[in-house]
Chains A and B, each alone.
Chain A
Amino acid sequence: GAVVSQHPSWVICKSGTSVKIECRSLDFQATTMFWYRQFPKQSLMLMATSNEGSKATYEQGVEKDKFLINHASLTLSTLTVTSAHPEDSSFYICSARTSGVSYNEQFFGPGTRLTVL
């Protein structure tokens, strides 16, 4: 149980284009989902927290107009990187928090490697 998927697993795009990444909780309902960014040999950096049906809460320094987050249902959240540039190249990981008994635990997706040329 508690499986989170991400799609795509990797994407290469040209500078100036937008890229959408999907995060799905496959076998549970996630009231809260989180989006992280991870640079090589570094730990996870929280970008934003999203709750189903409401606006995402962004961490300080994260541009909300550049990283659009939509949490349209209890099993799906999307991250859109708008007008991507090479500095946006990174490993993006989502996690989902269950609403059941183990509500404190977060389960992570496999990550999406974004390369902007």
Chain B
Amino acid sequence: EDQVTQSPEALRLQEGESSSLNCSYTVSGLRGLFWYRQDPGKGPEFLFTLYSAGEEKEKERLKATLTKKESFLHITAPKPEDSATYLCAVQKGSSNTGKLIFGQGTTLQVKP
């Protein structure tokens, strides 16, 4: 069964305290793995797409990496404005429609 599991469910950090969010996936053929950021009451904001194991992408304080079984979203020296829910989603290789399978998300709170 196709599954995406994110951990932890919630994470509290002090400003400047680096950490990582995990996204483990089980799908029959990965076409792409996506990271989104969602603020309360808003739609998800696209962050990264990763396509193959070993790939890495960076954007400001965020860095996403991918292996054959999981992806990590590393947050370096976070700031309070990084507080949000981070969603991971995968697209199967057999999907022609682009359908995404979402994890439950990790809610990050960064305290000043």
- Which residues of A pack against B, CB within 8 Å? 2, 4, 6, 32, 34, 42-44, 46, 49, 51, 57, 91, 93, 95, 97, 102-111, 113
Tell me the chain B residues, 28-46 only, with Cβ under 8 Å from chain A.
31-32, 34, 36, 41-46
Q: How far is the CA of A111 from the CA of B43 in the complex (A)?
A: 5
- A-chain residues with CB within 8 Å of residue B45 when the two chains form the complex: 108
* The 6 residue pairs across chains A and B that have the minimum distance between CB atoms: A108-B43, A97-B98, A108-B44, A111-B43, A43-B102, A110-B43
Q: How far is the CA of A103 from the CA of B51 in the complex (A)?
A: 13
- Say whether chain A's binding surface is mostly helix, strand, loop, or mixed: strand
* Total cross-chain contacts (CB, 8 A): 57
Q: How far is the CA of A104 from the CA of B41 in the complex (A)?
A: 25
Q: Are A43 and B103 in contact (CB under 8 A)?
A: yes
In angstroms, how far is the closest chain B Cβ from the Cβ of A7?
13
- B-chain residues with CB within 8 Å of residue A95 when the two chains form the complex: 43-44
Q: How far is the CA of A97 from the CA of B98 in the complex (A)?
A: 7
Q: How far is the CA of A43 from the CA of B6 in the complex (A)?
A: 11
- Please tell me the number of chain B residues within 8 Å of chain A, measured between CB atoms: 21
The residue on B at minimum CB distance from A92 is B43
In angstroms, how far is the closest chain B Cβ from the Cβ of A58?
12
- A-chain residues with CB within 8 Å of residue B43 when the two chains form the complex: 4, 6, 93, 95, 108-111
Q: Are A2 and B97 in contact (CB under 8 A)?
A: no
In angstroms, how far is the closest chain A Cβ from the Cβ of B67?
19
The residue on A at minimum CB distance from B103 is A43
Q: Are A43 and B100 in contact (CB under 8 A)?
A: no
Q: Are B34 and A32 in contact (CB under 8 A)?
A: no
In angstroms, how far is the closest chain A Cβ from the Cβ of B65?
18
- A-chain residues with CB within 8 Å of residue B42 when the two chains form the complex: 110-111
